[in-house]
Amino acid sequence: MKTFSATPKDIQRHWFVVDAEGMVLGRLASEVARILRGKHKPIYTPHMDTGDNVIVINAAKVKVTGKKGEQKRYFSHTGYMGHERHTPYADLQGKHPERVIEKAVFGMLPKSALARQVLRLKLRVYAGAEHPHAAQQPTALTFDRKSA
């Protein structure tokens, strides 16, 4: 038996649109990360970008469970000693709901140059129901786990 390793000619890219309305943030992020990496395909190769493009709409309507709405905080550092910034989930969700999903998906990906490239090039997140990618004819994806 020989180990299969995908080459660029083997990869076929598809477009998927995911409606985040009513979905739990972590469950949505893990499924989106799986599609971005290409783990749903039989030709998955860890060192190659075999994944598909994902459009997430209605990011402003994503849910979190438990007390995460009040307690969850996002950490950032300015680069100066002691200058840590902690942004509450509610503030980030109110101002930039796209970033909440982007940060959650980034947390599900491996910390590598390939993962950063996948996130930058193949994930599009929109707060509302409209997106400018109709020409790509995306396929609608639904996940079983919608309830909290």
Q: Are 57 and 133 in contact (CB under 8 A)?
A: no
Residue pLDDT, tens place only, 111-142: 999 999 999 999 999 999 999 999 999 999 98
Q: Is the pTM of this model over 0.85?
A: yes
CATH code of the domain in which 70 resides: 3.90.1180.10
CB atoms within 10 A of CB 13: 12
In a domain, 2, yes or no: no
pLDDT at 5 over 60: yes
Number of domains the chain contains: 1
Q: Which domain holds residue 71?
A: 13-141
In a domain, 85, yes or no: yes
Residue pLDDT, tens place only, 48-99: 999 999 999 999 999 999 999 999 999 999 999 999 999 999 999 999 999 9
